Amino acid sequence: MSGSSYFVDEIMGVVAARNPGETEFHQAVREVAESVDVVVQKNSQLAKLKVLERMIEPERQVIFRVPWVDDKGDVQINRGFRVEFNSAIGPYKGGLRFHPSVYLGIIKFLGFEQVFKNALTTTPIGGGKGGSDFDPKGKSDLEVMRFCQSFMSELFRHIGEDTDVPAGDIGVGGREIGYMFGQYKKLTNKFTGVLTGKGIGWGGSLVRTEATGYGLVYYMTRVLQDLKMDWKGKKVVVSGSGNVAIYATEKVHQLGGKVVALSDSSGYIVDEGGIKLDTVKRIKEVERGRIKEYADEHKSAKYTEGCSGIWSIPCDVALPSATQNEIDGKSAQILVKNGCKAVGEGANMPSTPEAVDVFQDAGVILGPAKAANAGGVATSALEMCQNSMRLDWPFEEVDARLKQIMNAVYDQSRAAADEYGLKGNLVAGANIAGFQKVAHAMIAQGIV
Ligand code: NDP
Ligand code: 2IT
């Protein structure tokens, strides 16, 4: 794709001038602008009503101080964010990320992408994102609790079950959601579906824990079908070893594939016989340890320091599920050279623009994050639905709905790509389909 169109240049000029230094946000906007250029050229109303120009400006952004006291009695100060990006099709919805790299540019790229992703899910949710530069790694449960309580002591006034419904992302799982929910309930005296990813038995939905990883594999099953392939006997490399990576691995194994590698920010493990997921779940979910410990327990496995080397392992399918820009152009070239046929983005924006070009030029099918990892937020929407009804659906029902949604995400993206003569370009297809749905709602609701 070329960024040379007048429309794209104009959008990018505005984004760069108004959001200086926020490079991840610029990257996310450029990709969407390049994809929807053809749509805007065809429909003069979109240009006249400045629909994309409005979409790139968040409806509301909140930045706040998060003071807390560590176990030594020292005062710590972090920064909290919530960016409420777009509410055209429903309440703001999107996760909270706790990671030392968090700054406004990360939250804005995530919030912007969430708008289109959520539109693709077929459920009525707008887009938002939040988080903090707090690092949960190495903190005690009590420190995490005190941080979460302080974070919610400000966030609570901006959210609500019909306004903005946060959830998890990197560094935010069931433990953190529990502490934040407890504080929200105490401050408001209300038990509502204000957060998703809650525990089972107190408002959480079955399948939400598994949903992003399972959904990614359901989506990639459709990609493989188009390539006249299935998972049986396929070698799969998954990066990360958190929530998304673990449940993507579980579903690949259930469908007959073999995941041979996982990673964390320190390094990666290779186990050619197939990753033993019970060990990973214990190390990561129970002990909160490092992936290196897997190789100490399983002599069949080898650990290597540094995470980018994971892409040099030959595989049929790659599922990057750690973080943004984890596959650069060079890593993409190695994957292609080693015969990788398809890439499914479990993480948000894991492929750099150079990597995307390499995959597309080589005919490797790329399932973009907005579509491929939409199963997590889609199941959050199902949790909201169950909370509103004050009912809990069985596992099989939520899983069947998730599968149905992932099929719909895929069908809409493929149809949009076909309509604009971009057959097989699921990146453009997802961007166009998501954009059209949000644009339609924004136009109907006037200039607000
Ligand atoms: P977790 O916190 O559970 O796990 C994150 C994993 O990625 C860990 O293995 C972590 O390693 C690794 N990682 C994080 N940051 C970096 C980094 N800068 N460099 C290398 N590795 C890193 O998060 P999730 O599994 O929930 O999220 C993973 C990705 O999936 C993110 O991009 C997230 O936005 C996306 N996503 C998550 C959804 C969800 O429902 N949870 C839904 C849709 C997308 P370490 O422990 O060393 O930090
Ligand atoms: O990136 C994502 O879609 C998520 N982190 C999940 C958000 C949610 O609201 O479930």
Q: How far is CA 314 from the centre of its chain?
A: 25
Residue 74 has pLDDT above 90, yes or no: yes
The preferred substitution site among 172, 377, 382, 398 for testing ligand 2, maximizing ligand atoms within 8 Å of CB, is: 377
pLDDT band at 78 (very low <50, low <70, confident <90, very high): very high
> Under a CB-based contact definition with an 8 Å cutoff, are residues 410 and 224 in contact?
no
The preferred substitution site among 129, 323, 325, 402 for testing ligand 1, maximizing ligand atoms within 8 Å of CB, is: 323
pLDDT of res. 3: 47
**Token output for 190:** 């209300």
Residue 288, sorted as left (phi over 0), alpha (psi -120 to 50) or beta, turns out to be: left
Q: Which of 93, 108, 117, 129 is catalytic?
A: 129
As a whole number, the mean pLDDT across the chain is 98
Reported as a single tens digit per residue, the pLDDT across 185-228 is 999 999 999 999 999 999 999 999 999 999 999 999 999 999 99
pLDDT of res. 12: 98
Residue 158 has pLDDT above 50, yes or no: yes
28, 157, 193, 286 alpha-carbon torsion, rounded to 10°:
70
CATH architecture of the domain with range 211-372: 3-Layer(aba) Sandwich (3.40)
Every domain of the chain with CATH number 3.40.50.720 lies at 211-372
Mark whether 330 is an active-site residue. Answer: no
Residue 76 has pLDDT above 70, yes or no: yes
Question: Which is the closest atom of ligand 2 to the Cα of 197?
Answer: 10
Residue 318 has pLDDT above 90, yes or no: yes
Reported as a single tens digit per residue, the pLDDT across 250-305 is 999 999 999 999 999 999 999 999 999 999 999 999 999 999 999 999 999 999 99
Which protein residues touch ligand 1 with a CB less than 6 Å away?
99, 168-171, 173, 212, 240-245, 264-266, 307, 321-323, 346-348, 373, 376
**Token output for 296:** 């100490």
Reported as a single tens digit per residue, the pLDDT across 378-430 is 999 999 999 999 999 999 999 999 999 999 999 999 999 999 999 999 999 99
Termini Cα distance of the chain: 32
Question: Which is the closest atom of ligand 2 to the Cα of 380?
Answer: 10
Q: Which helix (H) or strand (E) holds 381?
A: helix 374-389
Question: Which is the closest atom of ligand 2 to the Cα of 166?
Answer: 9
pTM (2 d.p.): 0.98
Q: What is the mean pLDDT of residues 98-119?
A: 98
Residues 342, 362: Cα–Cα separation, whole Å: 11
Parallel/antiparallel/unpaired status of strands 267-271 and 258-263: antiparallel
Residue 86 has pLDDT above 50, yes or no: yes
Q: What percent of the chain has pLDDT over 90?
A: 99
pLDDT of res. 43: 96
Every domain of the chain with CATH number 3.40.50.10860 lies at 60-188
Q: Which CATH fold would you assign to the domain 60-188?
A: Rossmann fold (3.40.50)
pLDDT of res. 4: 66
